[in-house]
């Protein structure tokens, strides 16, 4: 048992590294490449390994709940687009932290969408998280930067996707759910990027393809981690993405970190970790 827990924790940390590198790849594009175009490359590149996995394992591409699958895809696409917009307008760690608030929104929506009763401690934790959100988003509001709003909205829309995943998991194969989202996101981002499409130059090709590869690797690792690790522990370890993103932001992008941002991030990490244990982290988070 101890070995399995250690292995699951390691896989979760490696997944966090992969998602941090994905975010850094998007950040490194410096906003020159439109975020819908970035979303297309991330989705299209990640679609290939999903298709290969389905083919090798002879998993049929069909669903008994097309409406719910579409809802998951639309919510995931919206979350991804908002997240990438935030990455081009905020510091790396701030954007990643705000995008990681989905568990808080899941806890808020669960009584309505899943029929789960909200206990008093959970309600208090959600209330506290509002303060953490304000500490992170407040500066963006003061200077009229929509990046903070977009990143926070990414967490909110991701929670809708997570709830859909939880419902779909009762009847659908996990790889089919991942394929459904990736295919929908690829099509929607391909259409959305047309008006503002820019041909990538030089290293931008590597960054865009790298974002897709890191996303695919991270998704594979997180899926395996949840299969062998306690869900609540894996959920808590997923916040290591914030730490790795902070290190990359400071070390590579020379981004300053304000005491206000640190405090807000700590509040959100604490609340998210508590909710993971309190609710059992029933369904593994998919990064969009």
Q: Along the 288 residues of the chain, how does pLDDT read in single tens digits?
A: 444 446 878 888 999 999 999 999 999 987 789 999 999 999 999 999 889 989 999 999 889 999 999 999 999 999 999 999 999 888 898 889 888 888 888 888 888 887 877 788 888 888 888 888 888 776 655 556 788 889 989 999 999 998 898 889 889 888 899 899 999 999 999 999 999 999 999 999 999 999 999 999 998 888 788 777 776 677 778 888 888 998 999 899 998 878 888 888 888 888 887 877 765 555 555 666
Contacts of 268 by beta carbon, 8 Å cutoff, 6+ apart: 97, 100, 101, 104, 129, 132, 133, 136
Predicted TM-score (pTM) of the model is: 0.86
pLDDT attached to residue 265: 84
Distance, CA of 134 to CA of 141 (rounded, Å):
9
CA–CA gap between residue 115 and residue 104 (Å, rounded): 16
Torsion over CA: 182, 188, 189, 191 (sign): positive
Please classify residue 52 by burial: count the beta carbons closer than 10 Å to its beta carbon, then call 0-12 exposed, 13-18 middle and 19+ buried.
exposed
* Model pLDDT, residue 8: 79
pLDDT at 15: 92
């Amino acid at each position: 048992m101890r070995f399995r827990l250690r292995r699951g924790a390691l896989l979760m940390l490696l997944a966090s590294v992969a998602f941090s590198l994905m975010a850094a790849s998007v950040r490194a594009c410096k906003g020159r490449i439109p975020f819908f175009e970035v979303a297309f490359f991330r989705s299209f590149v990640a679609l290939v390994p999903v298709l290969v996995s389905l083919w090798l394992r002879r998993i049929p591409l069909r669903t008994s709940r097309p409406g719910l699958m579409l809802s998951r895809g639309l919510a995931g696409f919206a979350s991804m687009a908002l997240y990438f917009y935030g990455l081009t307008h905020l510091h790396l760690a701030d954007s990643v932290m705000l995008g990681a608030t989905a568990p808080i929104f899941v806890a808020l929506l669960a009584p309505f969408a899943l029929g789960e009763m909200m206990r008093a401690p959970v309600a208090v934790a959600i209330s506290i998280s509002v303060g953490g959100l304000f500490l992170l988003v407040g500066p963006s509001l003061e200077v009229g930067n929509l990046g903070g709003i977009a990143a926070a909205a990414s967490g909110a829309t991701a929670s809708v996707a997570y709830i859909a995943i939880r419902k779909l998991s009762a009847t659908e194969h996990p790889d089919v759910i991942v394929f459904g989202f990736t295919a929908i996101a690829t099509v929607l981002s391909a259409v959305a990027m047309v008006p503002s499409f820019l041909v990538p130059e030089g290293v931008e090709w590597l960054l865009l393809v790298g974002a897709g590869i890191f996303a695919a690797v991270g998704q594979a690792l997180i899926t395996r981690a949840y299969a062998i690790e306690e869900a609540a522990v894996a959920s808590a370890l997923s916040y290591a993405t914030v730490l790795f993103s902070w290190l990359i932001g400071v070390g590579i992008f020379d981004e300053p970190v304000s005491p206000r941002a640190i405090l807000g991030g700590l509040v959100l990490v604490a609340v998210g970790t508590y909710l993971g244990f309190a609710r059992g982290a029933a369904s593994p988070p998919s990064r969009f």
